Structure 1
Amino acid sequence: MAAPSPPSHLVPAQPGATRRDWLSAGLSAGVGLAVGRAAHAQAARPVVPLALSLAVNRAVMEPFLARLAQAAELAWDLSFVPFSRLLKMVERGEALGFGVAYSPQRGERLAFSQVLFASGVWTISRRSQPVDARTPADLKGLRVCVVPGLDYGPELEAAKGRLFEPQGAAGDFASRLRMLQAGRCDALLATQPNDDVHLLEQRVRDAGGELASLVLGRRPIVEQPVQIAVARGCDLAAHLPRIDQALHTHAAPLRRLLEQPG
């Protein structure tokens, strides 16, 4: 009995095709179908705008957020903007905001995710004029490089302009390090999503900083929770439960990503 003919859409076009040829074509079609289904599933995920400060450590945060999006079955549309613009985007309902610290005033108009992780604020100073700061009070009388508009937590925010003189340092981490090394401030505040000083050293090196001429704090002077914020009542707020569930069920792999060098 003759073998059944393959479906017409799997038969190779060239004359003299063998059974092996059309079986191979069928396998390729099956692989293509599987890839197409995966692409369709990816495309079906809601695309959610997420705004981040220019000051974030992108080498660490982008893999972390990619894993979080996968777990939440979302697709991020990332925007890296000055923190002041980030807040406006969130308040207008244009995007979720990464790293917006909770306060009672913000809580009246913004909703917040569960805590993603705790971020430490470290000091970096020049070796020629080292700063051994263990609390915000140790910054008294100093010029301190800070990201304009960025909320460093209640203790440091209360100390700005009262205990120390804030020096606005916009741009990425490399540009802020250059500002410090040029002597335009006595210390630089740097955020880090873990308590490993060696990873902070790596970040300094990657940004072109010269560790031989710099001093890193022994430990963070403050720690604060990092969350995602969204305007209350806007359509984007519907994504918070999915993000919270992903944070709960994938806590261990997300935490490991924060322990990798940036």
Structure 2
Amino acid sequence: MDRPAWKPAHSEREQQHRVDVMRGLKSTRRATLIGLFLVVSLAARADRLVVMGDDRYAPVIYAEAGRPAGFLVDLLRRAQVYSGDEYDIQLMPWKRAYAMALRGMGGLIGVSHNSERAPLFDYSKPVYDDAIRVVVLKGQEFKFDGLEDLKGKNVGGVAGASYGEAVDRAIASGLFTVDRDIGQSSRLRKLLAGRLDAAFIGNGEAGFRLVLESHPELQANRERFVLLPTPLARDPLHLAFAKSMQQHAAVQRFDAAMERVMADLKAEAARERAKLDKRP
């Protein structure tokens, strides 16, 4: 008796479909595994890093209603998207923040670089170029073209702050004295009371205006203050970690992230300019 010819359970088209489905599943699994690997890799290298800073240095960095605010805070929040690290921003008086950072209790944002600090910290590339200005009372202006013009004067400045190598050397040599404090508002009130010959104010004209707006006494007497035209110094600010923390890799991740952040900021500025150009 003739046996019926064997026929495949599925047509060639159906078999090809099954093959395609299996290939698709394998591709999906492969993509899923790659995605999981990337997530795990990112989590493995990411850290939650405490970063401390000044709570009274508006508009660059300050506390507003108890929360971190300012340009440097915005940069940190943008950078953590790219670095994979989470920055726990804690603001306090600068002298305390610096002392805690030196003990390895966290990083420090807004710190100047100098030869004394260089062996102690791992520094990022500069993130902000701070303009330090000299403020005096109207009627007590003096010619200021350089540090020699401060000779013998009593000037208000931040406790624990560096104003750059040249200024720090002039202070150490006794060329002029610095009355240290924890905030720019109290410094200008001392100037107003006649307890200082001049005051150092950070963040250029914008910082000067914000300080005047920060206290009723300063607002009422704003016309009595004069900002001398020549800046004391331009002071690049950095993110830094004590070398004892061994966070050099975190600094490198931050630097790489900041390159992308600055590219984003330039693109945003270009889009805003384009919008303005289109207005009638």
Give the alignment's TM-score, normalised by structure 2: 0.66
| 1:78 counterpart residue number | 89
1:246 aligns with 2:254: no
Q: 1:132 to 1:49 in 2, by over 3 A?
A: farther
What residue in structure 2 maps to residue 10 of structure 1? Answer: none
1:121-142 CA-to-partner distances (Å, cap 9, x unmatched) read 1001111312342322211111
Match runs of 1:38-77 below 5 Å: 46-57=47-58, 59-61=59-61, 62-64=69-71, 65-73=73-81, 74-77=85-88
User: Which residue of 2 is the match for residue 151 of structure 1?
Assistant: 162
2:176 counterpart (164, 170, 179): 164
Taking the aligned partners of 1:91 and 1:201, their CA distance within structure 2 comes to 29
Name the amino acid aligned to 2:60.
V
For the pair shown, the structure with the greater C-alpha radius of gyration is 2
Instruction: Please give the secondary structure, in 2, of the residue aligned with 1:85.
Output: helix
Two-structure CA RMSD over aligned residues (Å): 2.6
* Structure 1 residue 79, shift from structure 2 partner: 2.5
Q: TM-score, normalised by structure 1?
A: 0.70
Query: Structure 2 vs 1, CA of residues 179 and 54 (structure 1 numbering), >3 Å: closer, same or farther?
Result: farther
What is the Cα deviation at residue 96 of structure 1? 0.5
Aligned to 1:159, the other structure's residue is in SS state: helix
Q: 1:84: how far off?
A: 3.0
Unaligned runs of 5+ in 2: 1-42, 62-68, 270-280
1:202 to 206, 209, 217: 209
* Paired residue total: 208
Counterparts of 2:208 and 2:179 in 1: how far apart (Å)?
A: 23
Secondary structure of the 2:132 match is strand
CA contact (8 A) 1:54 1:171 kept: no
- Alpha-carbon separation, structure 2, partners of 1:253 and 1:56: 25
Secondary structure of residue in 1 paired with 2:79 = helix
Are 2:201 and 2:208, in contact at CA under 8 Å, matched by a contact in 1?
no
Deviation, 1:105, is 3.6
- Preserved contact between residue 52 and residue 99 of structure 1 (Cα < 8 Å): yes
Please identify, of 179-188 and 78-87, the stretch whose mean Cα deviation from structure 2 is larger: 78-87
Matches of 1:219 and 1:98, distance apart in 2: 26
- 1:17-56, aligned counterparts within 5 Å? 46-56=47-57
Deviations 1:82-115 (A, max 9, x none): 3332232222221111232223342223100010
State percent identity of aligned pairs. 25
- In structure 1, how many angstroms separate the alpha carbons of the residues matched to 2:127 and 2:175? 30
Tell me the amino acid that sits aligned with residue 148 of structure 1. A
Question: Within 2, Cα distance between the matches of 1:117 and 1:50?
Answer: 16
Q: 1:204 to 1:252 in 2, by over 3 A?
A: farther
SS in 2 for 1:107: coil
Pairwise CA distance, 1:200: 3.7
**Structure 2 residue 114 is matched with structure 1 residue 103:** yes
What is the alpha-carbon distance in structure 1 between the residues aligned to residue 182 and residue 99 of structure 2?
18
Q: Is the 8 A contact 2:157 2:200 kept in 1?
A: yes
Distance 1:101 1:77 in 2: 21
List alignment gaps of at least 5 residues for structure 1: 1-43, 258-262
Question: Which position in structure 2 is the counterpart of 1:186?
Answer: 197
**Aligned partner of residue 159 in structure 2, secondary structure:** coil
Greater length-normalized contact order (CA 8 Å, ≥ 6 residues apart): 1
Q: Distance in 2 between matches of 1:252 and 1:219?
A: 31
